[in-house]
Structure 1
């Protein structure tokens, strides 16, 4: 194959290439060695077809392709994947990726799958991590991970290590190039700066554009409405596509058009709009720009575009659904993503009950619990049992919390102390003032015998630090707890304090990165 043809195949539809001349030099001598890595966190979605279609290009160009299942990176990124689930999630990712590639006709026997922990824990790699740590400033580490690692006000050291490990992967996987989204650019330039300092060669970096999600923003595993899961049913696909942002004539941030451009056109060398004759009939496109121009000029209705994408997408997803339609694969999903498992529904032929919130398993990882530092507290001007409290939860401004503890806790004792705050309840007005969060307390007794104590996080806690139940630190909390789903009410019944005053849920302690959450003296108390 001609080196120039290989170059065009490798770089088509990319947004940017760093090291273009080096790429041409390598192709003049031999086939390119390239790797693509993915952190094994949330469940992969249809956005994964975008990098997979580029891997198809790489393989067609004769590249030696490695897929890195970055399990250690998933753990380091604010514990998005807990240690005890890494192995199951890594296996799930490999099976899903094999399913995607098989669906688009890519021979998986030409690929090399590598698990991060298979080489990132060895002696030489670990020594290089320490060598790198002695050279990299906090500023450079935070800047490199700004678009990839979850950003918090008080960053964990693990997140600062993340970009350095990704840079070292290029050397230890023995590749010429790394492929990723343009959101990885800062990590790529970090690698170009620091690998030569360690005596290693500078690599080529190939960057895909970021494809918008269905809501117009970034497609995210943690934002349900932004993406279509690879195992979604045809009914779910239709429902999500109907809700997707696709304004007539608007081609900006249009996730539907972006999917056609970056997945369907490269895979099928064209796209067909299916519609009734009275609206123009069937029309085939061999060039994407012609399709986009017609949509921009409102010659294609969003409904017709969505319906055509729905048919094409379901044909891609069907082989993946079939591959996971076995007891073994269903068990893998259950163990890799326990929080996503639904309870059994009636079999065919039985009348199904109307869906209610109780049909979905509810776990405490859905609660956005954080450390808060109380800045001010005063009695409510119109309700003598309420305190109005300003709490710093690691955001730009303190939140106002109203709590019915005025008869049990003196407001003068609160400023400066730390507490546990539930931050994703819906704001509501109480006696004319808005309450934007909930202060967690332990309470025991009734009437005049009732005693209330605030929960105490570990010493040296900082505002915004995450609070979670042991064993349930994975996943993103709900953006907002919707009252109709009664998530809080169903979880709250199992919160209590232990015989040693440790706050717990179903016997499992509440934790921060520094240790357990406790109360001062109440045992066997209700927490809420």
Structure 2
């Protein structure tokens, strides 16, 4: 029996507050009447953890306050299986990085990590018994069910990699091997949770309960994502970076539905402020002529005032900047005071530019300082964005080309004119209104008498019998950067290349399509905030 002063009902209320959905709530209540519940939360160490991690951390704080036994699974095998988001040689370093940063995050909000248990997935997922259960599971699950289960978590393509089909089953098995009563995750994992309920009994294992957080929108209105630098704030971003990103965030006056700032305040700031019996406070600071300071102790009042336009987006952003920096400062200080932690960061996320300089120095027998000022010729130099073709017509002077009006998300709001030689390969009706990948920092030039201000990327089979535009994940945001894990995106407006420089051509030599049809740069997938970029038909071809 638990020694917690809370009643089972009070524990259940604390465990389930602010969740979007609970599957198996009756079973949780039954267990709480007998003992404290055991649950786990898993995370795959891929991109750098961002502010969105405070959302599950605030719930883990609730679980611990309710007396739960909490395990955090660092799913290193899953990180590799999920479309190779984390290269195998970096997974070990990233796993340690995640552990240290998650501990720092929990400590920053006053959570004792003594009660937490951290487990690395490969510590048991490579065992003989687990491997045999994986085979047993594979013998009882159809491709359709596996693909459906992972649809919201693992990027799906027409010819999926087997690794992505295995992913949901392995996550289901984790519930048994961690010996928990419940699994906690985002509502985007619901299909995997339902899949686990169905397949675990087929192996002779019991069902578990599932607790689901709502998904918090990113700063640009979409899901907060490690692959979209504009959608999220990294846990180690400095104060100026936090302010810059929040000031650029989508925050339409009166809009409370697509507002990542309000969602974060609701999911993190107020719940954390109420820990330990405290009264949460969120202070809007403004001059007297605009009504003076306002202190909110209830989130709904803040949301109502924002909807009624009593709180200006600029004032909300300023208050959020202060609140977020207050949350991040203890993490920054810990990282600054322990020299081993920045070193771990460099091991987990090595700078491509530094690697290039070392290679160039060795290749040319020149000291590193001699190449210090030289910029690497890699994908970080290219400004490649999600764009939308507003209209496409056959070129008046060349029936093999199209002239398209394309929205690339420029701050001016004006679309660009783009000439592309696709008329022999892509029907004109397939050009209209579709999302595309556009290279936006090539110098404009005249093509058959019409000035073109960007380049549309297309996939080409080895014999060039098939040429098709790249497929962009649906609901990607027009103007968002296409990114590559480990490479910083190009600063917009920082560079513009002419054809003589051959920068794009040199980088594009490493653009290919893998066997699953995923567009990659040196085996690293092209990504938007909604997933990986693919080709419909081309496999193993080139991109240009």
Deviations 1:204-233 (A, max 9, x none): 000000011111111111111111111111
How big is the shift at 1:184?
0.4
Which is worse superposed, 302-311 or 14-23?
A: 302-311
Specify the alignment match of 1:255 in structure 2.
260
Which of 128, 131, 135 aligns to 1:126? It is 131
* In 1, Cα distance between equivalents of 2:319 and 2:142: 50
How big is the shift at 1:261?
0.6
Specify the alignment match of 1:227 in structure 2.
232
In structure 2, relative to structure 1, the CA distance for the partners of 1:437 and 1:11 (3 Å cut) is same
How big is the shift at 1:494?
7.6
How big is the shift at 1:327?
3.6
Specify the alignment match of 1:84 in structure 2.
89
Correspondence 1:430 to 2:447: yes
* In 2, Cα distance between equivalents of 1:18 and 1:94: 28
Which of 302, 310, 331 aligns to 2:343? It is 331
How big is the shift at 1:479?
8.7
Specify the alignment match of 1:296 in structure 2.
307
How big is the shift at 1:133?
0.8
Specify the alignment match of 2:196 in structure 1.
191
* In 2, Cα distance between equivalents of 1:29 and 1:400: 70
Deviations 1:454-480 (A, max 9, x none): 9949xxxx99799xxxxxx97288899
How big is the shift at 1:63?
0.3
- Aligned partners of 1:334 and 1:341 also within 8 Å: no
Which of 295, 301, 321 aligns to 1:284? It is 295
Which of 251, 256, 265 aligns to 2:270? It is 265
Correspondence 1:245 to 2:250: yes
Which of 44, 64, 82 aligns to 1:39? It is 44
Q: TM-score normalised to the size of structure 1?
A: 0.73
* In 2, Cα distance between equivalents of 1:46 and 1:327: 23
3-state DSSP of counterpart to 2:220: coil
Correspondence 1:320 to 2:331: yes
In structure 2, relative to structure 1, the CA distance for the partners of 1:476 and 1:132 (3 Å cut) is farther
Deviations 1:316-346 (A, max 9, x none): 1011111222442222222211247789xxx
What is the RMSD of the two structures over their aligned residues, measured on CA atoms?
Answer: 4.0
How big is the shift at 1:277?
2.3
3-state DSSP of counterpart to 1:207: strand
Q: Following superposition of structure 1 onto structure 2, how do residues 477-516 of structure 1 map, counting pairs within 5 Å?
A: 484-485=494-495, 489-490=502-503, 492-493=505-506
Long gaps (5+) in structure 2? 1-5, 275-279, 356-371, 385-394, 403-417, 426-435, 473-482, 511-520, 526-538
* In 2, Cα distance between equivalents of 1:365 and 1:137: 40
In structure 2, relative to structure 1, the CA distance for the partners of 1:359 and 1:290 (3 Å cut) is farther
* In 1, Cα distance between equivalents of 2:183 and 2:257: 28
Correspondence 1:56 to 2:61: yes
- Aligned partners of 1:401 and 1:438 also within 8 Å: no
Deviations 1:26-72 (A, max 9, x none): 11111110100111111111010000000000000000000011111
Which is worse superposed, 266-275 or 236-245?
A: 266-275
* In 1, Cα distance between equivalents of 2:177 and 2:335: 33
- Aligned partners of 1:231 and 1:320 also within 8 Å: yes
* In 1, Cα distance between equivalents of 2:492 and 2:313: 30
* In 1, Cα distance between equivalents of 2:78 and 2:240: 34
In structure 2, relative to structure 1, the CA distance for the partners of 1:474 and 1:214 (3 Å cut) is closer
- Aligned partners of 1:16 and 1:182 also within 8 Å: yes
Correspondence 1:475 to 2:485: yes
How big is the shift at 1:276?
2.0
- Aligned partners of 2:379 and 2:507 also within 8 Å: no
- Aligned partners of 1:248 and 1:298 also within 8 Å: yes
* Larger-Rg structure: 1
Q: TM-score normalised to the size of structure 2?
A: 0.71
- Aligned partners of 1:339 and 1:363 also within 8 Å: no
- Aligned partners of 1:152 and 1:464 also within 8 Å: no
* In 1, Cα distance between equivalents of 2:123 and 2:305: 50
Specify the alignment match of 1:72 in structure 2.
77
Specify the alignment match of 2:319 in structure 1.
308
* In 1, Cα distance between equivalents of 2:179 and 2:232: 34
* In 2, Cα distance between equivalents of 1:490 and 1:339: 19
In structure 2, relative to structure 1, the CA distance for the partners of 1:279 and 1:23 (3 Å cut) is same
Aligned residues: 440
* In 2, Cα distance between equivalents of 1:8 and 1:63: 13
Deviations 1:342-368 (A, max 9, x none): 89xxxxxxxxxxxxx978766448889
- Aligned partners of 2:382 and 2:489 also within 8 Å: no
How big is the shift at 1:154?
2.2
How big is the shift at 1:296?
1.1
Long gaps (5+) in structure 1? 344-356, 370-379, 390-398, 404-410, 413-421, 441-453, 467-472, 498-508, 520-526
3-state DSSP of counterpart to 2:295: strand
3-state DSSP of counterpart to 1:338: coil
* In 2, Cα distance between equivalents of 1:198 and 1:104: 40
Q: Following superposition of structure 1 onto structure 2, how do residues 346-425 of structure 1 map, counting pairs within 5 Å?
A: 363-364=378-379, 382=397, 402=421, 424-425=438-439
Deviations 1:156-178 (A, max 9, x none): 11111110111001101110000
How big is the shift at 1:89?
0.6
How big is the shift at 1:400?
9.0
Specify the alignment match of 2:29 in structure 1.
24
* In 2, Cα distance between equivalents of 1:234 and 1:126: 46
How big is the shift at 1:260?
0.8
